[in-house]
Amino acid sequence: MRFANWYFLLLIPPVIVAFILLARYRKSALGFSSVSILARRGAKKLKISWIGRCLVVLGLTAAIIALARPQRHDAVGTVDQSGIDIAVVLDVSLSMQSVDFTPNRLETAKKTIDDFVSQRPQDRMALVVFKATAHTVIPLTLDHNVIKEALANVNDDSVQEDGTAIGLALAVALNRLKDSEAASRVIILVTDGDNNAGAINPYTAAEMAKELGIKIYAIGVGSDITIIPYEGLNGTIEYERYEGGINDALLEQIAETTGGNYYRAKDPRALTNIFSEIDSLEKTEFDQGVVHYYTEYAWTFIKIALLLLLAGICLDRYVFVRIP
């Protein structure tokens, strides 16, 4: 047995002392339920009037013990803790609407990221989106439902000006991770293009990540042909096709600089496999934590205190009436 808030027990002696002092100043009171029984009861029965006050004191003592939180130690266990901080950086530029993936690159990436988030319950996640500019949608959080809801709402209108500011997007993610105290910090960059906007050079951002000890996993999304749907003059859906777009050399250099990897996902299955590989690579084990399990008895003492106080007050007020 132990008391989590043991210092409350220091209140018990003052309560007892106060009760004794109060009793000395109340000896002029007669503790009988009826004046007519004074003669046949006799003076020796006067002590019975103390019962109510004693119950009140015992009730106050039980309440103090409840405040002290008595606990019984039941068991000792250990907990393996694993978790890292991950910033997902998602390209939402026009080319991510390409239908070489079904329904398109962006929606496929969102679904794969959503599944990845579900597999990492102990990790904090952040979400950054970018086109020609970049911004944080959700900062680091363990509330994965918030991440999932935000991810579901991401579309090509999440950032207005079109373009691909890879360096700027990485800098925004680094700003979210730089103050993290996690043992491992990771950026997952998902894009289908080349850096063509933003004031920060991607190589500079990669060097910053290296200095901060943050890995970057870069994923190039898309086949060799980009197919962008658009509405034609007569209202029908037409398609613009062009080859290339992904700067594999740039993305590979960014990843290698930071100790991460570059992956090329030419179809949805490859993208799923890439996220599965990243999931298996980024597991950080911390030391086992010791956990003590206790049974709380505070509520038991609260019930005892209420019963004693109620009984004491009723006896003192309605049974042992004091006649001055």
Q: How confident is the model at residue 15 (pLDDT cuts 50, 70, 90)?
A: confident
263 touches 191 (CB < 8 A): no
- DSSP class of residue 200 equals S
Residue 108 has pLDDT above 90, yes or no: yes
To the nearest 10 degrees (0 to 180), the angle between helices 105-118 and 144-153 is 170
Of 139, 129, 136, which Cα lies nearest the Cα of 166? 129
* Mean pLDDT, residues 275-283 taken together: 87
Of 257, 249, 246, 260, which Cα lies nearest the Cα of 218? 260
Q: Which residues contact 115 (CB under 8 A, 6 or more apart)?
A: 272, 275
Number of neighbouring beta carbons within 10 Å of residue 253: 16
How far is the C-alpha of 136 from the C-alpha of 89, rounded, in Å?
9
Question: Element (H or E) spanning 216, and its range?
Answer: strand 215-221
Q: What is the pLDDT of residue 316?
A: 73
* Mean pLDDT, residues 32-61 taken together: 64
167 touches 134 (CB < 8 A): no
Of 184, 84, 202, which Cα lies nearest the Cα of 134? 202
Amino acid in the structure at residue 126: A
> Which of the residue ranges 119-133, 208-222, 280-294 would you say has the lowest mean pLDDT?
280-294
Angle (CA) 202 106 243, round 5°: 70
* Neighbouring-strand partners of residue 77: 291
- Per-residue pLDDT reduced to its tens digit, 140-169: 999 999 999 999 999 999 999 999 999 999
62 touches 307 (CB < 8 A): no
Q: What is the pLDDT of residue 211?
A: 98
Which one of 32-46, 201-215, 231-245 scores highest in mean pLDDT? 201-215
**Which has the higher per-residue pLDDT, 208 or 76?**
208
Q: What is the pLDDT of residue 322?
A: 52
Domain boundaries, the chain: 2-76+292-319, 85-281
- Per-residue pLDDT reduced to its tens digit, 162-188: 999 999 999 999 999 999 988 899 999
How far is the C-alpha of 53 from the C-alpha of 309, rounded, in Å?
9
- Per-residue pLDDT reduced to its tens digit, 246-276: 999 999 999 999 999 999 999 999 999 999 9
Q: What is the pLDDT of residue 81?
A: 56
Q: What is the pLDDT of residue 45?
A: 42
**Which has the higher per-residue pLDDT, 83 or 3?**
3
How far is the C-alpha of 173 from the C-alpha of 32, rounded, in Å?
80
**3-class SS at 62?**
helix
pTM summary value: 0.65
- How many CA atoms lie within 13 Å of 26's alpha carbon, on the beta-carbon side? 17
Q: What is the CATH number of domain 85-281?
A: 3.40.50.410
Name the average pLDDT for the chain: 87
Per-residue exposure over 48-74, b if at least 16 CB sit within 10 Å of its own CB, e if not: ebbbbbebbbbbbbbbbbbbbbbbeee
